[in-house]
Amino acid sequence: MTVKIILTEPNKILRQISQPVEHVGENEQRLMDDMLETMYAAKGIGLAAIQIGFPKRIIVIDLAKDQTEKNPMYFINPIVHNKDTEQTTYEEGCLSVPGQFAEIARPKKIEIEYLDYHGEKKILKAEGLLATCIQHEMDHLEGILFIDYLSKLKKSMIIKKLSKQKIKPERIVV
């Protein structure tokens, strides 16, 4: 397993629409392993393949973080079947939008269909944090970031900040 570089906004690749996976084989499983390793290293709870530069409809999630035993979840070609009309709000961040957070309201419960790590079709009813996390990651598959839900002004301020951070030279201690 390899820790990959996570792309950060602004980056055109993050705005690409990811393509469906036709076959879940060794390459896809290796990609999922790398995604998980990358996500753990960055202390995130979800990651989409596009965030490490692969425009494939693959998501990994682990809500267990460090507190409990690892509980990795893999979602390939996820489709939402049902969305709750009731919404819930979390303060969201994103590994591709480092250091920025905003309150985002999303449907509280969803039902999704997807393929698992072994390519088997699964249906899952999710709510609360898991539902929000899945929806955030599914947005990545469409090239959407959580900052797209903010006002134009807020969004442009965040992008400006991130652009400045990128120009900063790397700090080294020699």
Note the residues at the interface with Ni ion (CB under 5 A): 94
Q: For the CB of residue 36, give the shortest distance to Ni ion in the complex, in Å.
A: 15
Nearer to Ni ion, 119 or 159 (CB): 159
Structure tokens at 113: 């269909």
Specify which residues 80 forms β-bridges with: 112
Rounded CA separation 10/174 (Å): 30
Residue of 9, 28, 92, 137 marked active site: 137
Which residues, 6 or more positions from 16, have their beta carbon under 8 angstroms from its beta carbon?
A: 50, 55, 143
Return the number of the residue (77 or 132) whose C-beta is nearest Ni ion.
Answer: 132
* Nearest approach, Cβ of residue 125 and Ni ion (Å): 22
Any catalytic annotation for residue 137? yes
CB 116 within 8 A of CB 32: no
Bridge partners, 59 (sequence order): 48, 75
Give the residue with the Cβ less far from Ni ion, 94 or 126.
94
- Which residue is nearest to Ni ion, using beta carbons? 94
The nearest distance, CB 40 to Ni ion, in angstroms, is 15
- E strand or H helix that includes residue 131: helix 128-141
Residue 2 tokens, joined: 């390899």
The Cα-based distances of 82 to 55, 60, 73, 108 in angstroms read 25, 21, 20, 11
- Which is nearer to Ni ion, 26 or 155 (by Cβ)? 155
Q: How far is the CB of 139 from Ni ion (least distance, A)?
A: 8
Residue 135 parent element (H or E)? helix 128-141
Q: Cite the active site residues.
A: 137
